[in-house]
Amino acid sequence: MLVKKCVLIGVCCVCLKMANAQKTTIESQIESAVKKIEPKSIAWRRDFHEHPELSSREVRTAKIIADHLRSLNIEVKENVAKTGVVGILRGQKAGPVIGLREDMDALPVTERVNIPFASKVKSTFNGQDVGVMHACGHDTHMAMLMSVAEILSGMKKDLAGTVKFIFQPAEEGPPIGEEGGAPLMVKEGVLENPKVDVMFGLHINAQTPIGQIKYREEGMMAASDWFTITIHGKQSHGAQPWLGVDPVVVGTQIIQGLQTIVSRQSELTKNAVVISTTIFKAGVRENIIPEEVILGGTIRTLDTSMQKDVWMRIERTAKKIAEASGATADVSINSKTLVTYNDPKLTQLMIPSLQKATNNNAIVMDAVTGAEDFSFFASKVPSLFFYVGGMPQGKDVKETAAHHTPDFYVDEAGMKTGIKAFCLLVLDYMKGAQSSNKTQQKSF
């Protein structure tokens, strides 16, 4: 009996060693591939950074991506949602379809960062002359996903499933009057043919240390709504305000009133609410009280019921304040993004992959009031979205420039973690799906 037990223990130890050896081989293979492709990834990132393109105008960017995917013998679809690119890599074994998404567009921001590849590009945005800058890290996102495509295409024989590389335009929102971004991609069927089973997305973050990943189950990023309030008063001479109804004064009162929705009317212990008025258009001459004022801004909520309640309160506040002064107000609210929702079951399943990608430095984060149109994909299929660190080690978070600003900067060294994470998520999910299928077959 003792001999049999020893033999059994010996067999188990051998099996465990074999499993660990296989695991080590796969991880080391990814590690080696990431290290090898890093210089090329950095070169792509710098090229994109130096030649940024605004939302739905990413023509040069799209060509570079499509050409690269074709060079890897990946099936390519162009002009998806205007300028988007989709690559389809079919593994040699059957399995799930996994979507990997990254965004392509830059912002109407004039760069102030002193780097050799700083953007000097100028363009027009909503009729205004602007600088153009990758002030949110989308340049790194594209470089990371192009790198992942190259690594996984070299492992095609080992892939038990299909990978869809989704390069999305207009994440920051399409030009006024146009459709675009994730909603248009979904509308045009990017999640079909073949049908996507799960989606993964990432965003580099200038306030997260290099080598770290942040994630969260359920609501991670807020829904984003944009509002426009048009105030109709009565024009008069600036010297005789009593002869008119001053929409400028009404506008300032409405702005103050909107803040009480947050500070006095919203249950903030339940979830955060942000209302920011960012546009105030009024007048053409110093001595004329104008007839009309236009206010604009954004609403951020992390709860759908609170979102609808805030909409109602904004309309009521604007109309009643205007009425009290003898003016009228028209209120328009447009939904831009949904809550970015991480499927709890998928998140729990993939946490080990995130930990492997970071040497156990993947941590749970608080929800944020930033928004992402990845949320439209996540509303259709189980998804996981996470942050990848781009802040240099030893840097103080308070000293780093915010996203969407002229001084925004991320360290390219952070891209390795994102590339590794995407590769491991794909391989581990496919492996899990294979194991699940074998278990189901045995049960029959």
Coil/strand/helix, residue 94: strand
Judged on CB neighbours under 10 Å (0-12, 13-18, 19+), 58 is buried
Coil/strand/helix, residue 382: coil
Pick the closest to residue 166 from 38, 77, 95, 40 (CA basis).
77
- The pair of structure tokens assigned to 79 is 């002009």
- Which residue among the candidates 53, 102, 105, 373 is catalytic per the annotation? 105
Phi, psi of 112 (to 5 degrees): -120, 0
Q: Region of 137 please: left (phi>0), alpha (psi -120 to 50) or beta.
A: left
- Which residue among the candidates 102, 150, 171, 412 is catalytic per the annotation? 171
Helix (H) or strand (E) holding 421: helix 415-443
Q: Within 10 A of 207 (CB to CB), how many other CB atoms are there?
A: 17
CA distances to 50, 54, 95, 282, 332 from 174, in Å:
21, 9, 35, 25, 18
Torsion over CA: 69, 75, 79, 80 (sign):
negative
Torsion over CA: 242, 246, 248, 254 (sign):
positive
- The pair of structure tokens assigned to 432 is 């899990």
- The pair of structure tokens assigned to 142 is 């594209």
Within the chain, how many helices (H) and strands (E) appear? 9, 18
Q: Find tokens 């940024």 and name the residue.
A: 52
Strands 340-342 and 218-221 turn out to be: antiparallel
Is 105 one of the annotated active-site residues of the chain? yes
Which residues is 70 bridged to in the sheet?
Answer: none
Is 78 one of the annotated active-site residues of the chain? no
Catalytic center residues: 105, 171
